[in-house]
Amino acid sequence: NAGVTQTPKFRILKIGQSMTLQCTQDMNHNYMYWYRQDPGMGLKLIYYSVGAGITDKGEVPNGYNVSRSTTEDFPLRLELAAPSQTSVYFCASSYSFQQGDQPQHFGDGTRLSIL
């Protein structure tokens, strides 16, 4: 039972490069999320998706893009990497419905450094 799988686990980028962080889940969850976590800080929501074809901005969306073409996959794209985007990125998924919420399941994270 894989849960939420993120790739890569580590990456170093140069300023101005682009890359895609991959996230896939096998739990048939409708909601998926991308967070960033800076050292000693909490999780900041970048983007989230309530289902295939639907995405919305979180607290800190600038510099990122997402897409949700399938229920399973929710990639995060950095177009022009900047040093401020050095962080640990977590993807999560949950089954959410209007009357309640199940907890989020997190991937192991991607540690991204931009130099």
Q: How far apart are CA 33 and CA 47, in angstroms?
A: 6
Q: How many whole angstroms separate alpha carbon 102 and alpha carbon 65? A: 26
Select the residue interacting with other proteins from 21, 23, 25, 48 (CB under 8 A). 48
41 scored as a contact of other proteins (CB under 8 A) = yes
In terms of CB distance, is 2 or 42 closer to other proteins? Answer: 42
How large is the C-alpha radius of gyration of the chain?
14
Question: Using the rule CB under 8 A, is 107 a contact of other proteins?
Answer: yes
Binding interface with other proteins (CB under 8 A): 33, 35, 40-45, 48, 50, 56, 58-59, 90, 96, 98, 100-101, 103-109
